[in-house]
Amino acid sequence: MNRRLHKSNENRMIDGVCGGIGEYFGIDPTLVRLGWVLFCALGGHGILAYIIAAIIIPRSPLV
């Protein structure tokens, strides 16, 4: 099966990045969001990483 990383259309809070990562790895998007918060708290680079991911990761096609 050809899996591709996309921003989620259903599991989105801001732009769907965490929801898409959660769907790709088959885990709860809430765990990914908590990871992003922890990443931001430990140095602040999580905000920059989220912005870059929001720009680079394509939106999931509407099916």
Instruction: Convert the pLDDT of each residue in 8-46 to its tens digit.
Output: 888 888 888 999 999 999 999 999 999 989 888 888 788
Residue that has been written with the tokens 């096609």 in this structure:
61
Asked if 11 and 19 touch (Cβ cutoff 8 Å), the reply is yes
Asked if 6 and 59 touch (Cβ cutoff 8 Å), the reply is yes
What CA–CA distance (Å, rounded) separates 35 from 18?
Answer: 9
pTM of the complete model = 0.82
Q: Is the pLDDT of residue 7 over 70?
A: yes
